[in-house]
Structure 1
Amino acid sequence: MRKLNASIDRFAYRHPNFGIPNLMRFVVAGQAVVYLLYLFSNYGAISFLTFDLAHLLRGELWRLVSFVFVPNALRPLTFVILLSFYYFVGSTLEREWGTAKFTLYYLSGMALSVLGTVLAALLTGYHGLTLSNAYYLNLTLFLAFAVLFPDAGIMYMMIIPLKAKWLAWAYGAFFLWDLVKSAMAGNIIGIVIPLVSLLNFLVFFWPEMMDFLGIHTQRVRHQSSHQTIQFKAAAKQQRRKEAAQGYRHKCTICGRTDADFPDLEFRYCSKCAGYHCYCQDHIYNHTHITQ
């Protein structure tokens, strides 16, 4: 999980132009249009936007995406409150993470919601199982917000002032209770869909979850290992040599330096014995030096 989390961060760093800027604005606008369609007709008129395996197998591919535009609530006041809240949450996450990482988070949440529904449909044999809105996807947005901004104030039901972390703990408790009830009742749907749908939150916040649980053993072992101590000693020697060199960084593989290629990114590998520098093309693609 930690490697996957690091891969996501690397991808977002290397591809800052990836993604859809102001993604939540499009989601909110789409939900507003669908809600108006519902008001002037009925729920049956927007059912073609929900997802289920049976219709997907008939070639209705738009359902893979369109379910996010189906409103979570149909009462006007509740709809407006929820729409405003999740627009605020999503926009805040995009500003904090950047467009690339937020888009990855949202798209992976969409994909996992669909995957959870498909798995539950296959396990139960009921291909008409419907994913009618983005409830779990929106839940992952809020949980991400609560982790990043735990002390942010939220007016629950527009009346009760709460901190984001308190509301997140409450959601977490209800989520676990629902899983327990589903397990006791043998409800496969109630187990598979929630667990799969929230996997993107687990992946994106794996380091924070491990830190919260106090799982630092591997990190402490690594910091006190002979290889790490050797790396730090070699780093001190390298800094003393920098004053006598015409460059600061030189790739061990290709020999390029920061003096010749000032726009090139260089990093040092802590898994190699000694103090070895690599350019951005070789830092993740080299054989570790052991002696």
Structure 2
Amino acid sequence: MNKFKVFFTFFAFSWLLACGVGAFFPLIGSAAASEKLAWAGVILNALALPVWIWLRYLYPQKFHGDIRESNAFLAVLIGLAVALLADGQLGLPIYLVIANLFVVLLYLYHFSSVAHPSLPGINQQFPDLEEQTGENCNIADFCRERELDGAFVVFLRGSFCADSRSQLASFERLLPQLQKRNIGLLLFSAQPMSSWAKAFSRLGVPAADELTVHQLAESSQDYPLFVARQGAPLLMYPWQSAAARPSAWLVDSEGVILWRELAANYRTPARADLLRAQWFRLVD
């Protein structure tokens, strides 16, 4: 299923880009104003989502997504309306904008969905995590060494993901509040820290132990629980084919799970606001 979603996500964005760029040629060549307007609607309808995702990737501190990608979806619908109103002859622009809407909806609600395997539940012990370096991460030991009351454990999909970069930006602002409340933060992914260096640099996030992204060991028996082996975008496959399933956990100082958030869609991972709303559980 992961391979299916990865392939069709690549196809969806390739189609939207090709459709949007290709619409410039009939736009330039059209003589009638109504035809020009219809093709302009196709361009807006097709390019809205790819451009929005690219902006979110480049500027995660400024642009934030949601389950519907509301800003992009509004532009898609505006482009649809323009093409429908302008193309009185029911020509190719109308068929293209309707097809594009279908492709966008498939991406938003199916291709970017996440299926999690059976994972530990509330009041169960959080499993030990083996890092690629060979070190073993036990949450209870982590809290004991730092005299913490608990820790958030967050799995980031990857440095290639706009939403993972948005998470990092929000965690950087959240970190002082966590330190004040004596709560730790552990970040994990399927990529080495070197892959995250550019993301940290672009975000202006200083290097710190609290924001180090630890790489899970592929040989670990728990690796398949948190990582989809063919979950990375198709263009990443020459370098990286695995992607962590986005999830967040609040674990107390004894290693017991108090709360968990298993993202149903990789575009809606747990950000700082959601973590901030859960730390009262350590007091209760």
| Structure with the greater alpha carbon radius of gyration | 1
Structure-1-length-normalised TM-score:
0.28
Structure-2-length-normalised TM-score:
0.29
Whose RCO is larger (CA < 8 A, sep 6+)? 2
More strand by share: 2
More helix by share: 1
